[in-house]
Amino acid sequence: MQVYFLGTGTSQGIPVIGSNHSVCKSNDLKDKRLRVSVWITWNESSFVIDCGPDFRQQMLNSGCTKLDALFFTHEHADHTAGLDDIRPFNFMQAKPIPIYGHKYVLENLAQRFDYIFRTENRYPGAPSVQPIEVINNQSVFMDGLEIIPIDVDHGGTQVFGYRFGDFAYLTDVKRMNGTEIDKLIGVKVLVVNALREEPHHSHFSLQDALDFIHLVQPEKAFLTHISHLLGFHEEVQKRLPKNVFLAYDNLKITI
């Protein structure tokens, strides 16, 4: 399995529009972060988790030319606002793109993207999706791979993380209960969000993320959904435990 980090930034991305913060002014490419998303390839399958406002640029940057499914973690705009840009995949693949998400997320998207979800009087060329509900404790199977949803609390908003064999991807976590944490037992590579040093009402801080990684004990962990307030990539990386890495845009890992 290959995992490509399409974006590793928090909701505003880095640089933030109009910001004079030194991290936003950094020339290090690892300090440039699009909105959070990953592209996973497995055998012949190709799927993306979340479809934020940078989706088009991310597909171009990564060279992704095939999309078998989109998985949504939750409905917030930094994870969904790019849905219109699946159109090239509709044209190339000549069929609706399966989109997986919690019932509430699919309903929310159907309101916000009415023209995509409507079945009558469709605009020719509008994006085409096949909504598929993700239910907690019910795995999704794709190309021989079991995908396990993991229920996460994002400060009152329900979020799904997903485990794919030895790999798990969790973003926008603030709290998780024990039965959900148990779904991560034995995972080799864990991705989890770490916003900044300061506590936040709906995201793990860096220390929250490190405590969580210590609990789960993966071989390796990658941090994502990063704010410019966390600091320069290079400096923060030096302070992390030896099996914990700050993810960065266009990082590729093999599991």
CB of 193 to Zn ion, least distance (A): 8
The yes or no reply on residue 75 touching Zn ion (CB under 5 A) is no
3-class DSSP assignment, residue 64:
coil
Of 31 and 78, which CB lies nearer to Zn ion in the complex structure?
78
Interface pick for Zn ion out of 31, 54, 75, 172 (rule CB under 5 A): 172
* Owner of token pair 């078998």: 68
CB burial of 14-41 (b: ≥16 within 10 Å; e: otherwise) equals bbbeeeeeebbebeeebbbbbbbbbbbb
Q: Where are the beta strands (DSSP E) in 155-251?
A: 157-164, 167-169, 189-193, 220-224, 244-246
Of 75 and 172, which CB lies nearer to Zn ion in the complex structure?
172
The residues, any chain, with a CB within 8 Å of residue 121's CB and separated by 6 or more, are none
Task: Give CA angle at 248 (156, 190), nearest 5°.
Answer: 55
- What does the alpha-carbon distance between residue 131 and residue 102 come to, in Å, rounded to a whole number? 10
Of 142 and 170, which CB lies nearer to Zn ion in the complex structure?
170
Site string for Zn ion, 115-154 (x = CB under 5 A): ----------------------------------------
* Owner of token pair 């995972």: 187
CB of 188 to Zn ion, least distance (A): 25
50 Rama sector, left if φ>0, alpha if ψ -120 to 50, beta otherwise? left
CB of 79 to Zn ion, least distance (A): 6
The yes or no reply on residue 180 touching Zn ion (CB under 5 A) is no
Of 33 and 163, which CB lies nearer to Zn ion in the complex structure?
33
Of 142 and 247, which CB lies nearer to Zn ion in the complex structure?
247
Options 47-55, 166-174, 180-188, 214-222: segment touching Zn ion (CB under 5 A): 166-174
Options 73-81, 84-92, 95-103, 130-138: segment touching Zn ion (CB under 5 A): 73-81
**Residues at the interface with Zn ion (CB under 5 A):** 78, 172
